[in-house]
Amino acid sequence: MNGMAIVTPETTPEGHVKMTAKLLHLSYDAVSDTDAKDLFPDNFDFENYSAIDPERFRGLQESLQSTRGVDMLSMPSLFSQPGQRAMISIGNSNESTLSLSLQADPVAEVGGYELSMDLLKSE
């Protein structure tokens, strides 16, 4: 199985940063069927971070929803003040727990945010 976190950030009218994360399990066949192989690490790599353009993102979302072997584990949303770290843990005592930590730091020159994400698995 493969794991994937899809994070979509947006700003709210109040100036908060909202980040929605879809945490997914994908079978090896599903990775091929959704044409998402390039989004996963190569052999002997442990992680792969990448950004995709909005058109590919829409296509990937449609493909993930209609492909066998794709299971959504959770879809948490986190709200944070710019520059503040927000964290959520998902799981229970009988299985592994995923901790997702997100931070959006303002970039004054461009009026946007630099996003950082840590996804940790503990068993």
pLDDT above 60 (res 93): no
Taking the whole predicted model, whether its pTM rises above 0.85 is answered as no
Alpha carbon separation from 108 to 14, 57, 80 (Å, rounded): 17, 27, 17
Distance, in Å, from the CA atom of 49 to the CA atom of 39, rounded to the nearest integer, reads 8
**Confidence label for 59 from pLDDT (cuts 50, 70 and 90):** confident
Q: If you average pLDDT over residues 26-52, what whole number do you get?
A: 74
Q: If you average pLDDT over residues 74-93, what whole number do you get?
A: 72
**Dihedral sign of CA atoms 8, 62, 34, 2 in order:** positive
Q: If you average pLDDT over residues 51-76, what whole number do you get?
A: 83
Q: If you average pLDDT over residues 36-55, what whole number do you get?
A: 72
Higher-confidence residue: 109 or 15?
A: 15
